[in-house]
Structure 1
């Protein structure tokens, strides 16, 4: 497999920082409480998602029984796929091009494709982990926020998901709430 994952990680970090900054500025009157990167099972996308306190409060008020789902599911967040559109667009174009030209067996779940997909997911998690360690999120908003990686139409093994949560979130409250979410929703 001839794909430059270290370069991709830098591109993801740059786009993620830009997206977070853009969405934080957009939400001046609403506290940003979560940032995620998400991909798809076909490994052709990487996109950002951001949630805000008012959005979460509003959706939970109308459906309190599913509060943890709304808190930890980026598809339910206020901004999905917004921010750093040019940077993430270039990343997605690169991934699609590789999958469609270099990895035609992707549709067949070949060993090569699975290896590529897992490397992409790990690259996204590593990029987020480096951003968390640099303090980029907490320094901008003044507190810890939920940080995670998700994949649409794909279920992580519970242990793998919780390892990712621990890597990206030092806050014990976030970890405990996410563990309750996983137990309830079987991520």
Structure 2
């Protein structure tokens, strides 16, 4: 027998036997109810109030993404990010059809007040190395992997202006640690959606590309890059990515 324990808007906590479930609207432009099992501890936390329920949902969503679940039903904001990223990357591909892409990323700043797209190609990397007079025998991995050094960092980023405005507005009323974590999760979910659609290719072609999320000029960037790369890439791509600064 199902027993509803808590309800707030479209969010509900149900108990079925000795198990607990979160039921909520995960749709974008139409209602699409989703149900996920949660722990008793999570249920009790969510039932404390609106903020606690929201925090629990953020944590649940992050856990589902890290578990590799197909994220096709996304909140509006994550779909907006995916749409903006697709627009930027599509435009870049059209502008550089002969170049060989090896990485795509989304990144924010240390204050989580902005969001930007970034991508790089083998040819773009070679051009930057030449401009910086980097010898051919010097690896200089930061130019290959730091999004701020990429040739196509923030390419056609105008589609992200509205997203960044929303971040700045929401941050005024948010607890920063949980807010920043949600921003990082939203970026991963958006890239995961594009990945699930085959936007970055399949098979051997997909294995030539790495996807990740980053933070500009932040000591926590490498950790976030590694964690997001684990979720977003085939194992062979992820394992090679971990060696980038070795």
TM category (shorter chain) comes to: 0.7 to 0.9
Aligned: 1:76 with 2:149: yes
- Root-mean-square deviation over aligned CA pairs: 2.6
TM-score of the two chains, using structure 2 as the length reference: 0.61
The corresponding residue for 1:94 is 166
Which stretch of the first structure deviates more once superposed, 160-169 or 59-68? 59-68
Q: Give the direction of change, closer, same or farther, for the CA distance of 1:158–1:98 in structure 2 (3 Å limit).
A: closer
How far does residue 8 in structure 1 lie from its aligned partner after superposition?
1.2
Which has the larger helix fraction? 1
- Using structure 1 for the length normalisation, give the TM-score: 0.78
Q: Is the 8 A contact 1:60 1:66 kept in 2?
A: no
Which piece of structure 1 moves more, 2-11 or 62-71?
2-11
SS across alignment from 1:136: coil
- Residue in 1 that maps onto 2:218: 154
* Paired residues for 1:19-168 under 5 Å: 19-60=88-129, 62-63=134-135, 64-85=137-158, 87-100=159-172, 102-103=173-174, 112-138=175-201, 142-144=205-207, 145-156=209-220, 161-168=225-232
Question: What CA distance in whole angstroms lies between the structure 2 residues aligned with 1:10 and 1:120?
Answer: 13
Change (3 A) 1:32 1:160: closer
| Larger-Rg structure | 2
Q: Distance in 2 between matches of 1:154 and 1:132?
A: 26
- What is the aligned length? 170
Could you tell me which residue of structure 1 aligns to residue 25 of structure 2? none
Kindly tell me: are residues 83 and 96 of structure 1, through their superposed partners in 2, closer, same or farther at Cα, counting changes over 3 Å?
Answer: same
Structure 2 segments unaligned to the other structure (5+ residues): 1-50, 59-73
